Structure 1
Amino acid sequence: MFQRFTSEARDAVVAAQECARRRRSDHIGAEHLLLGLLDSTGPARSVLDSVGVDRDRLTEAVRSAPYAGAPADDADHLQELGIDLTEVRRRVEETFGAGALDVPARRRRGLLGRVFPPTHLRFERDAKKVLENSLRAALDLGDRHVGDDHVLLGLLADPRIVAVLRSAGTTLDLPTARSLVLQGRRRSA
């Protein structure tokens, strides 16, 4: 699938992988793809800049998102029981420091007992869905390649990503982003 990606889209996916590694995650989730777009140099970055996405606020919103590290169903069930995962995370990190609840990445042992970081991070179901939606967005726009702007449109099809953007102080939804992408194309043509 990645052979259809533009260099900007590939760079965003690589940035997402690096983001996941820095956060000691053993997978790449939709939230990592969102943060990866912040390192993009393509149209997606222009759209994010035009709506005032702030890297620090977005990173904090991703880190404190109720679903970060927990499947959506689990977060929803806990919420029904009156357990707010965002508040739990805040209190634990207040006591034990930032990242205290982050799952350390699995490591493999090599010869002579040396420990190596994982070489491959798997894509979570939500990230796979984003990439599928990115391909659909490209096809809907009549494009033969998947750009970082299509990845952004694929991300915005996930209501949890829209919620994260809102909690970061940005109101960006799929119709608005699609309009901004098309405006950017008309200006560059």
Structure 2
Amino acid sequence: MFERFTDEARQAVKLAQANARRLDHHLIGTEHLLLGLLDQPQAVSTEILGRHGLDHGRAYRAVADLTPRAPKDALDAEALESIGIDLSAIRDRVEAAFGPGALDRPPQRDRRGNLVSGRHVPFSPRAKKTLELSLREALALKHGYIGDGHILLGMLREGQGLGSRVLADAGIDAEAVRREVVLRLGTRRKAG
């Protein structure tokens, strides 16, 4: 399925993963897909959702409010800092080497039992369903590609994830957005 994704759709998925890491989440959910869509200034979904009053900043704040971060253990940090260990400097160096949130992700093992970096963040079942529905939306529109607009249509069709809740809480009329996306995609015939 990913071979059918346009550059914008691939970028949305990469940005979804980056947003999940930034929020210290261990799964990519529909809310992260929404953030990934809104993180691209030139994307169809960003343009349409922006006209309806939702931008990345507003959506990010809503997701952060709906999914609070796990509290960090401040006592350990204070104890280490009291003996001269600067945790923020260590975190910066580790993240520079292994990516944002590297210390926050649990270590994982590959098939042979070796530890891997934990850089991959898996999709939640609802996010997987959204991506599957994006393919169905593309096929229904007789498009040979999956664009960022198709992902938004898949999210609207899935309708149960946190991404849909953020849209609803923002007062966005899902049917109106759906009609606009379909109309816009009908005018954009883009190959892979």
Deviation string 1:105-131 (CA, Å, 9 cap, x unpaired) is 21369xxxxx98512111110110000
**Percent of paired sites with the same residue:** 39
Partner of 1:64: 65
Q: Is the 8 A contact 1:130 1:154 kept in 2?
A: yes
Q: 1: distance between equivalents of 2:138 and 2:187? A: 19
Partner of 2:48: 47
Partner of 2:171: 170
Partner of 1:106: 106
Q: Is the 8 A contact 1:16 1:32 kept in 2?
A: yes
Q: Which runs of 4+ in 1 moved over 2 A?
A: 54-57, 99-102, 159-163, 182-189
- Aligned to 2:59, the other structure's residue is in SS state helix
TM-score (norm 1): 0.69
Specify whether residues 108 and 185 from structure 1 end up closer, same or farther in structure 2 by C-alpha distance, changes over 3 A only: closer
Partner of 2:154: 154
Q: 1: distance between equivalents of 2:177 and 2:5? A: 19
Q: 1: distance between equivalents of 2:165 and 2:16? A: 19
Q: Is the 8 A contact 1:16 1:36 kept in 2?
A: yes
Alignment of 1:17 with 2:31, yes or no, is no
TM-score (norm 2): 0.68
Rg comparison, structure with higher value: 2
Q: Is the 8 A contact 2:16 2:28 kept in 1?
A: yes
Q: Is the 8 A contact 2:9 2:151 kept in 1?
A: yes
Q: Is the 8 A contact 1:61 1:165 kept in 2?
A: no
Aligned length: 151
Q: 2: distance between equivalents of 1:143 and 1:188? A: 10
Q: 2: distance between equivalents of 1:107 and 1:138? A: 37
Partner of 1:126: 126
Q: Which runs of 5 or more residues in structure 1 are unaligned?
A: 69-88, 90-98, 110-114
Output aligned runs, 1:20-31, within 5 Å: 20-31=20-31
Q: Which runs of 5 or more residues in structure 2 are unaligned?
A: 73-103, 110-114
Q: 2: distance between equivalents of 1:27 and 1:162? A: 17
Shift of residue 18, structure 1, vs aligned partner: 0.6
Residue identity in the other structure for 1:118: G
Q: 2: distance between equivalents of 1:56 and 1:15? A: 14
Q: Is the 8 A contact 2:38 2:55 kept in 1?
A: no
